[in-house]
């Protein structure tokens, strides 16, 4: 696997080695020793899987306690994945990483604890699977408003209409009002 830094050095893009032949392809999606050598040596305690149709935007979610590191992988389709640094004392506080992930390239995105996460579905359907370093705790979940101008996220919206959002995501707060990590 190849581990590449993004514009926020702790957020890593992971490119697998894909073995292809006349039967199809094979790749490893996780090997502890390689991830640990790249600095990702946290225990994963929960796997999540979501399917969404075109135009759905999920996020930007984070947990104010029990912060979750996430290892994101697209099983089918294509998404625009976003991580926002919410670590108050970080030199990249409020900055974001936004990358396209697809089932074709099979790349993963490592988002460490202390970041909000969200994604927008670009394909007709997308299935996203991710490992988390802490359990989901609804009492600690918070949501940033996906289109807060302070975040300067350039979402590649497929139409001029707003994305499809959950009620929770519609009520997201602005960064200036958000509870953030110390």
For the chain, first and last CA: distance in Å?
32
Q: Is 136 assigned a catalytic role? A: no
CA separation (Å) from 45 to 25, 96, 135, 170, 181?
Answer: 28, 25, 7, 29, 21
Query: 115, exposed or middle or buried, with CB in 10 Å at 0-12, 13-18, 19+?
Result: buried
**Among the residues of 15-122, which ranges form H helices?**
32-37
135 is catalytic: no
Residue of 61, 117, 119, 181 with catalytic role: 61
Residues 62, 119, 130, 181: which is the catalytic one? 130
Which residues are annotated as catalytic? 61, 130
């Amino acid at each position: 696997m190849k581990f590449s830094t993004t514009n926020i050095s702790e957020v890593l893009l992971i490119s697998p080695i894909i073995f292809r032949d006349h039967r199809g392809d094979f790749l490893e999606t996780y090997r502890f020793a390689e991830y640990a050598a790249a600095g990702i040596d946290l225990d994963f305690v929960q796997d999540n899987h979501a399917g969404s149709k075109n135009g759905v935007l999920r996020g930007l979610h984070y947990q104010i306690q029990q912060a979750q590191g996430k290892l994101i992988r697209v099983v089918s389709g294509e998404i625009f994945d976003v991580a926002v640094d919410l670590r108050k004392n970080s030199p990249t506080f409020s900055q974001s990483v936004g990358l396209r992930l697809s089932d074709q390239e099979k790349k993963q995105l490592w988002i460490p604890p202390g970041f909000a996460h969200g994604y927008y579905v670009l394909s007709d359907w997308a299935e996203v699977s991710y490992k988390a370093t802490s359990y989901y705790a609804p009492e600690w979940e918070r949501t940033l408003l996906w289109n807060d101008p302070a975040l300067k996220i350039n979402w590649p919206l497929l139409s001029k209409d707003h994305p499809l959002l959950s009620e929770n995501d519609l009520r997201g707060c602005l960064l200036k009002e958000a509870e953030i990590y110390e």
